[in-house]
Structure formats: structure tokens, C-alpha cells
């Protein structure tokens, strides 16, 4: 299946590392004009060395005002990948107010805010668009020490559905992808323990974690016209974990 994004303008958040970085590069390779948003300038510098056409925006998306200012000159956008997130694992009884606010501010409030900014422009131009929120299998299954992270991803799934409901009439589609573990920086911090990884893999019918490319391919499909009538879905990329 040939997918091209020639002439499309895309924004990818959390594009400094992992899935977001690979998505930004894949979109640029497929012809899109890409704006990469993340909070570590060094990551943007190295991204631009890999792909000079990418437009960098450095901002901490947990800061509402800073985000508003950083994205005010974004211009027309056709495609948004709401990927930036953080995970801070704690036993439920030890969750702190600070950690709760920090993770919700990025994973939910930040995603909502960027989508608002982008979707307002899409609506005003009347040309539609496609938004993909990067959720997780953790949105639909309880994982030990993941209380706050699971709750943010469950919130993002429902946000996806409400956005699909409210933005659909403007031909703006909103979908999510829900990966299993991917061994990015985030995955390495949380899943390097061999015992923990083995237990998780034993619950995945295909017996393995996802590769970054598995996730990127599903994101590209949902962004593209190949999924033209798909709106409001949460697409597992999980080897069957959520099916069982
Ligand atoms: P990484 O930690 O590898 O990359 C996350 C990126 O998001 C980094 O560039 C990071 O920048 C950026 N980011 C985080 N917080 C902010 C912020 N406040 N403002 C701007 N940018 C920010 O994560 P992954 O690539 O693994 O994860 C990508 C997405 O996939 C996330 O939504 C994650 O929840 C989801 N996911 C990941 C899984 C996994 O096992 N890896 C499994 C299921 C879902 P910096 O490093 O500078 O903080």
C-alpha cells in the first residue's frame, strides 16, 4: 500500500526521541512538511542534522502559556500526531500530587491543548484533517505501578472519542494507537527487568514487544486517506494483548 503525504503539513509532538522522532522522519520521507515539537533542544538539533527540512519547535508542553506562545505561528496543519508523554511508575499507595500533576499535564492536558490549537485552524480552513493520539495498551488494562500512567491513557482514549464526535462534522478525524511495550528510552526505563518483561510477553499472544516501526506504520495509516472513514478508534499495536 503506497502512502504519500506530499503537500501535507504535519505536526508531531515528542519528536525528539523514540516513536515521535521516527514518525517525524517517516512523514518527512513521505513528502510532508513536518513541524517537530519537543522540549530538549539537543534532540531537535540532531533531528535537523538527520532531516534538514523539519521545522523545530522547542517547548515544554506541560506549560499551557508557553505552548500557546510557541505554537502561535504554526500556520496551516493537516496532520497532528499527539505523541509526547511521560511515565513515572509508582506503587498506587505512594503516588504523589506532584507526579500526578506532572504526568496528567503532559499526557492529557498537553495533548488536549495542542489538538485544540491545531483543530481550530483545521476548522477555520474547512479542509479537514487527521489527528492521531498515541495512547497505550495501558489505557485498557491495569498494570502494576502504572496507576497514573494508565489513568492518563484511559483519559486520552476517551478524549479521542469525544474529539472524533465533535470534530467529525468538520471532516477532522481523530483516532488513537495503543501500543504494547516498545523498547524506546521510555520502554527501557520501565521494562528492562527480564522477569517483568517475560511476564508481560507471556500475556502477548505473539510473544514479543512492538518495534518502533510497527507503531509508526499504524500512525501513518491513520493519518492517511487510506483510513478515510475511520474515526474515533483506539487501534491496538500489541500482538493481541488487548484481545485476551
Ligand atoms: P520516549 O520517552 O522515548 O520519547 C518521548 C518524547 O516526548 C521525548 O522526545 C520527550 O522529550 C517528549 N516529551 C515528554 N514530555 C514532554 C513535554 N512536557 N513537552 C515536550 N515534549 C515532551 O517515549 P516513547 O517514544 O516510548 O513514547 C511515545 C509515545 O508512545 C508516548 O505517548 C508513550 O506514552 C506511548 N507509548 C510508549 C510505549 C513504550 O513502551 N515505549 C508503550 C505504549 C505507548 P524529553 O526526552 O526531552 O523529555
pLDDT per position as a tens digit, 230-244: 999 999 999 999 999
Query: What is the ipTM for the molecules in this complex?
Result: 0.99
Ligand 1 within 6 A of CB of 182: yes
Report the C-alpha gap between 3 and 86 in whole angstroms: 30
pLDDT values of the chain reduced to their tens digit, one per residue, 244 residues: 789 999 999 999 999 999 999 999 999 999 999 999 999 999 999 999 999 999 999 999 999 999 999 999 999 999 999 999 999 899 999 999 999 999 999 999 999 999 999 999 999 999 999 999 999 999 999 999 999 999 999 999 999 999 999 999 999 999 999 999 999 999 999 999 999 999 999 999 999 999 999 999 999 999 999 999 999 999 999 999 999 9
Distance CA 239, CA 207 (A): 7
Catalytic, 170? Answer no
The response to whether residue 187 sits with its C-beta less than 6 Å from ligand 1 reads yes
Residue bearing the CA closest to ligand 1, atom 10: 14
Let me know if 184 is exposed, middle or buried by CB neighbors in 10 A (0-12, 13-18, 19+). middle
Amino acid at each position: 500500500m503506497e502512502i504519500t503525504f506530499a503537500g501535507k503539513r504535519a505536526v508531531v509532538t515528542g519528536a525528539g526521541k523514540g516513536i515521535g522522532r521516527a514518525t517525524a522522519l517517516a512523514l518527512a520521507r513521505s513528502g510532508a512538511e513536518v513541524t517537530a515539537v519537543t522540549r530538549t533542544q539537543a534532540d531537535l538539533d540532531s533531528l535537523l542534522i538527520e532531516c534538514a527540512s523539519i521545522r523545530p519547535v522547542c517547548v515544554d508542553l506541560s506549560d499551557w502559556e508557553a505552548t500557546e506562545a510557541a505554537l502561535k505561528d504554526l500556520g496551516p496543519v493537516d496532520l497532528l500526531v499527539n505523541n509526547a508523554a511521560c511515565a513515572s511508575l509508582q506503587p498506587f499507595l505512594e503516588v504523589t500530587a506532584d507526579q500526578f500533576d506532572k504526568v496528567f499535564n503532559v499526557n492529557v492536558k498537553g495533548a488536549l491543548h495542542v489538538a485544540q490549537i491545531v483543530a481550530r485552524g483545521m476548522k477555520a480552513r474547512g479542509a479537514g484533517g487527521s489527528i492521531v493520539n498515541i495512547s497505550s495498551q495501558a489505557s485498557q488494562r491495569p498494570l502494576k505501578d502504572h496507576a497514573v500512567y494508565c489513568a492518563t491513557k484511559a483519559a486520552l482514549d476517551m478524549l479521542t472519542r469525544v474529539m472524533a464526535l465533535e470534530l467529525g462534522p468538520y471532516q477532522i478525524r481523530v483516532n488513537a494507537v495503543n501500543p504494547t511495550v516498545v523498547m524506546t528510552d521510555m520502554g527501557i526505563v520501565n521494562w528492562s527487568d527480564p522477569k517483568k518483561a517475560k511476564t508481560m510477553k507471556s500475556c502477548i499472544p505473539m510473544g514479543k514487544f512492538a518495534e518502533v516501526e510497527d507503531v509508526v506504520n499504524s500512525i501513518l495509516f491513520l493519518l492517511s486517506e487510506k483510513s478515510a472513514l475511520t474515526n474515533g478508534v483506539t487501534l491496538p499495536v500489541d500482538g493481541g494483548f488487548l484481545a485476551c
